[in-house]
Amino acid sequence: MTGSAVETAPKARQRLVPSVARLPNRSDFLRVAASKRRWAAFGLVLQVAPRPPDARVGFHAVRVGFTATRKIGNAVTRNRARRRLRAAVREVIPPAACPDLDYVVIARAATSDRPYDKLVGDLTIALRKCDALASDRTP
């Protein structure tokens, strides 16, 4: 590697919006599900819970978990649904979500076939209904 390639790599990773981190453990998924704060849209289900104070994450990182059960189809269908959810989350969550909350996005049977713009709309509506938009919350 040349010296210029090493110097430019960290600059490419810098972002002005919060980054998206993954929920690491099953216990985090269960904690978010137990909070009973959720919204089911046609293309996805969003669950939201306050982040525990001992969570290891960057300063402005938003933690998101993704799941798809075998009810929605075979492995190809589940993976496609998760990929589409990850793309929608990368577009919607960083500029709009509260960094002090944890999110779990669950794929539904319609996720893999739903038009992408409607999937993004479902996620935005779910964030609003769960009171998880940074612009709608009081400090």
Each residue's pLDDT tens digit, 46-64: 999 988 877 666 656 788 9
Task: Give residue-wise pLDDT tens across range 12-45.
Answer: 444 445 677 888 889 888 999 998 889 999 999 9
Using the structure block, give the residue that is written with the tokens 């430019």: 8
The C-alpha atoms of residue 136 and residue 119 are separated, in whole angstroms, by 21
Tell me which residue has tokens 């402005």.
60
On whether the CB atoms of residues 65 and 52 are closer than 8 A, the answer is: no
In the chain, the domains with their CATH numbers are 17-129 (3.30.230.10)
Question: The pTM is what?
Answer: 0.79
